[in-house]
């Protein structure tokens, strides 16, 4: 797999050299497609190849490509750039790892703390230690990143369970006034990127239901058998993610969500990722975040 990715990425670099600009000439079919995370996806593939070459595997599989934790840095940088362009001070943006001096750690409820990928916080605790005259801290926003390369089916439930737990823990901490203020309510976002070959988003998954019939939302054109069979046709893993994110937003566990997919075949394309569901696009995610920033950050 690593060799295949390397070959694809070399082809991508060669294609870039042949271009007269920074991206390929747009065609009538793709000129209106979003590219807000074009560079972030490039970094995602590039870092996976770099990590696979550098990390000595002790666990096998493609998980080694994600062990160093820098695959999502391109998304972090794109979001920070947008926040700064909106007027957010750089000193109010945190993204450090768990053990860094200015880690983006927030107090939790069921554990001591959680390290989020991007946090916007005014008058942070460390600044008030230096200047006691500053107002109390204000948590403005936090964003969680998730990505998947292989084992989409095996790992999907793990990703979803972890994300649900993180969100519930975040809001329990909020209700416990660990973030000091109850208003304005902080903005919580979730961004996912996964490797999906074209067509995978429509590949159904068989559901086994020996105890109770499955929620109809997860069934694909097999509603007649829902009450009469133990195995039924289900929707794809991508469509399951869509339902997960829509329901998390409806339950106010997340305020914004983004779901992007990419594959080796489009590494050198522009765009180099696909938006399967417009309501979960990168552009809409950023716009949603920035609307909140404009409304509450400058108070």
DSSP of 77-103, one letter per residue? Answer: HHHHHHHHHTT--GGGEE-B-TTSTTB
Domain that holds residue 141: 2-21+34-195+257-296
Q: Between these two residues, 11 and 107, which has the higher pLDDT value?
A: 107
Angle CA 165–65–201, to nearest 5? 65
The verdict on residue 287 lying in a domain is yes
The verdict on residue 209 lying in a domain is no
The verdict on residue 216 lying in a domain is no
> What's the rounded Cα separation, in Å, for the pair 208 and 229?
9
Full-model pTM: 0.86
The verdict on residue 281 lying in a domain is yes
Q: What are the tens digits of pLDDT across the range 160-204? A: 999 999 999 999 999 999 999 999 999 999 999 999 988 888 999
Residue given tokens 């493609």 in the structure block: 62
The verdict on residue 236 lying in a domain is no
The verdict on residue 102 lying in a domain is yes
| Predicted pLDDT at 35 | 96
Does the pLDDT of residue 156 top 50, yes or no?
yes
Residue 97's pLDDT band (boundaries 50, 70, 90)? Answer: confident
Number of domains forming the structure of the chain: 1
Residue given tokens 């801290």 in the structure block: 137
| Predicted pLDDT at 155 | 85
Tokens encoding 113: 């703390």
The verdict on residue 285 lying in a domain is yes
The verdict on residue 213 lying in a domain is no
> What's the rounded Cα separation, in Å, for the pair 120 and 185?
13
> What's the rounded Cα separation, in Å, for the pair 211 and 230?
8
Q: What are the tens digits of pLDDT across the range 112-126? A: 999 999 999 999 999
Q: Is the CB of residue 209 less than 8 Å from the CB of residue 251?
A: no
Q: What are the tens digits of pLDDT across the range 57-70? A: 545 444 444 444 68
Residue given tokens 């019939």 in the structure block: 213
Q: What are the tens digits of pLDDT across the range 233-264? A: 999 999 999 999 999 999 999 999 999 999 99
């Amino acid at each position: 797999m690593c060799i295949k990715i390397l070959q694809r990425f070399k082809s991508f670099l060669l294609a870039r050299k042949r271009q007269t600009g920074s991206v390929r000439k747009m065609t009538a079919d793709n000129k209106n497609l979003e590219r807000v995370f074009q560079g972030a996806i490039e970094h995602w593939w590039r870092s996976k190849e770099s990590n696979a070459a550098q990390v000595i595997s002790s666990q096998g599989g493609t998980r080694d490509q994600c062990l160093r934790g820098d695959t999502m840095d391109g998304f972090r940088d794109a979001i920070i750039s947008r926040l700064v362009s909106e007027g957010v001070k750089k000193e109010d943006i945190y993204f450090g790892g768990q053990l860094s001096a200015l880690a983006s750690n927030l107090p939790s409820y069921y554990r001591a703390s959680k390290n989020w990928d991007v946090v916007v916080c005014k008058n942070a605790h460390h600044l008030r230690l230096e200047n006691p005259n500053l107002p109390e801290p204000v948590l403005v926003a936090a964003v969680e990143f998730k990505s998947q390369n292989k084992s989409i089916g095996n790992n999907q439930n793990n990703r979803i369970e972890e994300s649900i737990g993180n969100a519930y823990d975040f809001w329990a901490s909020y209700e416990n006034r660990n973030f000091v203020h109850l208003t304005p309510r902080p903005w919580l976002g979730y961004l996912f990127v996964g490797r999906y070959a074209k067509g995978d988003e429509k590949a159904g998954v068989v559901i086994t239901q020996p105890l109770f019939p499955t929620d109809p939302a997860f069934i694909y054109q097999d509603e007649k058998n829902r009450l009469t069979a133990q195995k039924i046709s289900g929707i794809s893993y991508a469509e399951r993610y869509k339902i997960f994110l829509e329901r998390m937003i409806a339950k106010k566990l997340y305020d914004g969500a983004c779901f992007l997919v990419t594959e080796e075949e489009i590494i050198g394309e522009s765009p180099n990722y696909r938006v399967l569901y417009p309501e979960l696009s990168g552009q809409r995610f950023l716009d949603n975040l920035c609307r909140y920033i404009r409304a509450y950050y400058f108070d």
